[in-house]
Amino acid sequence: MARGIGGYIGRILRVDLSREQVSEEPLDNSILRKFIGGAGLGAKYLYDEVPPGTEWSGAENRLMFFSGPFGGTKYAGSGMISVVSKGPMTNMAGSSQANGFFGAYLKFSGFDGVIIQGIAKKWSYLCIHDGTAEIRDARDLQGKDTIETEDAVRAQLGKQCSVYGIGPAGENLVRFAAIFGDHGHVAAHNGLGAVMGSKKLKAIAAERGHHPVEVADPQRYSEAVKAFAKNFHEMKHPLFQYGTADLVGMAKKLGWLPVKNYTTSDFPEFVKFTGESIRANFKTKATPCWACRKGHTCSIQIEEGPYAGFEGEEPDYEGVAAMGSLIGQTDPATTIYLCNQVDRLGMDVNESGYVIAWLMECFEKGYLKKSDLDGVEMNWGNGDSVLAMLNKIAHRQGSGGLWAEGVKRASEKIGGEAANCAVYTMKGASPRTHDHRANWPELIDTCLSNTGTIEVTGGAPKPDELGLTPVKDPSNPIEVSIMNAKLNGKGQFLDALPLCRFCMPDFKSPIETLNIITGWSFDIPEAMDAGRRIVNQFRAFNFRHGLTKYMEAPSVRYGSTPADGPAQGRAILPQWEDLRRSYYEQMGWDSETGKPLPETLKSLGLEDLIPGLK
């Protein structure tokens, strides 16, 4: 047990599906300050337990759910969970965070994390409660969508619980399947839902148990919670008022709203898709996460038109963009409905959007014919065609079996001019639903990240918090790449807590809170070291699983030069080799290969990784 360290239960749940066994083991105190929790512990266990040559769908791959020292506390956003595995989109590390209640309820049930291995003999789900766990039969859940699965498990348990599960896409090993829970929260990136499906694990449920989460300094904690609640209540961030769809207007203004598969930046209908417009024209109700009173997440009801009476989850910015502007959809109600269908089928809305948009462009230009698409006419914005194709993909029916491989693999299979239209990173995954050609920090981050999605740029990093001078010339890719490297570590530190980034006004606040909870004495430099340690741990894993520098680049279309809009004429590819090299050097990696240098690993206390990189 992790006695003496506040914020931790001190136990890990180990589940071997092949042997139908569950057990518990102590959480090693010696690694906590180095890796903290969440994505940090995930990186550590992933490297230690998933050897080179392990297939993402193999029994030896691990699927891990980790809370952290904030889990179950009274801080908003502390219900977050980190899900870590070897993911099918990149065949390397996958780390994705989801909010809701699971991170808190897992702690209340007596565990800091769950490590799942093996493959079940039949479809199963895992139930966790008050220090115990049980593998249950889930054959009656097979074929159900994510919402049906969640509701059915909750009905079976008859108790307050948090349920995360997969839909048909996960069951059918769609490479970009995701894990969904708490009616609207998603561990979306790098196909973690496919890993869950490969293990024949339909869902995992954590009941709200009775294990207390102890803190090191109860008096300071009580005072800090009151101060935090007061300050948090007074925060007037527009994302709390209108959700992340509030970003649509900014994205259009700055040129990073993706339109028709990056063929243009012109989308005059964007006003209808802003958070303010959506909440003015649709009926919404706040559905806050654990310990949060803000209206960032909402349920939504469509009251008019062909989808009148539909109730679901309000899409976030990425959903609005993926099933809106990216595919040429101009009706917000259709976009809302399609986003919810993607969720119910159990797929990452980002990759889903890029696949559909690519199919539409290829159909428009004649690279794919109606016969290649099982008779579906993939015209821009055709909601019925999109829904039909999403179902084909989720069930791997007909041509959907190829599109289920993701846009990179599908486009390479088709070849020719069609291949040059696809938006993806050379590692295998598509970016978040932004036109990153107008947002170079995130384009560089997406291509050089170690987790199948961004690791530096989420939540608008603030260089001044680290004593850095902001980039003077955002059109200079070398300067941008160097700043990305200097900022790297901050995001992974927050994902190790793990904590919702919308709930902390600055970087100093979660560090101070961590010290109150654990009794440690972290400062900003140590927090950055912890984050960089996690970055390098993931990177060492990736090199053992096939990473090369040539994978750290954008596809032809992803790195193309915009033909119109605010970023018109700005080209990043001509300087890609130089910016990648400068990033490697700033990170303390070999400038030619990108491998962490021995002195870098030693400075972070990761000497044990050096032999594996030879």
DSSP string, 531-543: HHHHHHHHHHHHH
Per-residue pLDDT, 163: 98
Distance in angstroms (rounded) separating the CA atoms of residues 242 and 316: 10
pLDDT in tens, 79-112: 999 999 999 999 999 999 999 999 999 999 999 9
Whether 73 and 216 have beta carbons less than 8 Å apart is answered as no
Of 592, 547, 578, 349, whose CA–CA distance to 449 is shortest? 547
177: β partners: 347
Distance CA 7, CA 73 (A): 8
- Say whether pLDDT at 1 is over 70: no
The three-state DSSP-derived secondary structure of 398-421 is CCHHHHCCCHHHHHHHHCHHHHCC
Least confident of 75-79, 110-114, 344-348, 397-401: 75-79
pLDDT at 136 over 60: yes
Residue 156 scores a pLDDT above 50: yes
Q: Residue 365 has what pLDDT?
A: 98
Mean pLDDT within 6-33: 97
pLDDT tens, position by position, 228-287? 888 777 777 778 889 999 999 999 999 999 999 999 999 999 999 999 999 999 999 999
The residue among 83, 92, 169 whose CA lies nearest residue 351 is 169
Check if CATH label 1.10.569.10 holds for domain 235-419.
yes
d(CA 72, CA 77): 10
pLDDT digits (tens, 9 = 90+) for 517-542: 999 999 999 999 999 999 999 999 99
CA distances 552 to 105, 393, 440, 454, 565, Å, are 37, 27, 14, 13, 26
Q: What is the distance, to the nearest Å, from the Cα of residue 510 to the centroid of all Cα atoms in its chain?
A: 21
Q: Select from 128, 118, 98 the least CA-distant residue to 24.
A: 128
Q: Taking Cα atoms as reference points, which of 256, 261, 552, 549 lies closest to residue 407?
A: 261
pTM of the model: 0.97
* Tokens, residue 577: 């080799």
Residues 87 and 55: beta-carbon distance below 8 Å: no
Query: Average model confidence (pLDDT) for the chain?
Result: 96
> What tens digit of pLDDT does each residue of 178-193 get?
999 999 999 999 999 9
pLDDT score of 460: 66
In whole angstroms, what is the distance from residue 192 CA to residue 196 CA?
A: 6
Q: DSSP 3-state assignment of 297? A: coil
The pLDDT tens digits for 53-86 are 999 999 999 999 999 999 999 998 899 999 999 9
Give the CA distances from residue 550 to residues 15, 423, 554, 555, 580, in Å, rounded to whole numbers and listed in that order.
37, 16, 10, 11, 10
CA angle 166, 391, 127 (to 5 degrees): 10
> Looking at the predicted structure, is the pLDDT value of residue 10 above 60?
yes
Distance of CA 244 to the CA centre of its chain: 15
Query: What mean pLDDT do residues 483-501 have?
Result: 96
Give residue 319's pLDDT band: very low, low, confident or very high (50, 70, 90).
very high
* Cβ-contact 458, 439 below 8 angstroms: no
Angle between helices 332-345 and 383-394 (to 10 degrees): 10
Domain boundaries, the chain: 11-207, 235-419, 436-488+523-613
Range 491-499 average pLDDT? 96
The Cα 562–Cα 208 span in angstroms is 50
> CATH assignment of 11-207, given 3.90.650.10, 1.10.620.20, 3.60.9.10, 3.10.105.10?
3.60.9.10
User: Using 50, 70 and 90 to split pLDDT, how confident is the model at 458?
Assistant: confident
Q: What is the pLDDT of residue 315?
A: 97
Q: What is the rounded average pLDDT of the residues 6-26? A: 97
Residue 37 has pLDDT above 80, yes or no: yes
- The two beta strands, 161-165 and 201-207, are antiparallel
**In 519-597, where does DSSP find H-type helix?**
524-544, 576-587
Percent of the chain with pLDDT over 70: 99
**Does 46 have pLDDT greater than 70?**
yes
Mean pLDDT value of segment 309-326 = 97
At residue 235, the pLDDT reads 74
With beta carbons less than 8 A apart as the criterion, state whether 274 and 248 touch: yes
Is residue 4 very low, low, confident or very high in pLDDT (cuts 50, 70, 90)? low
Q: Which CATH number fits domain 436-488+523-613: 3.30.830.10, 3.40.50.150, 1.10.599.10, 3.40.50.2300?
A: 1.10.599.10
Q: pLDDT band for position 3 (50/70/90)?
A: very low
Helix (H, G, I), strand (E, B) or coil at 347: strand
Q: For 480-486, what is the mean pLDDT?
A: 97
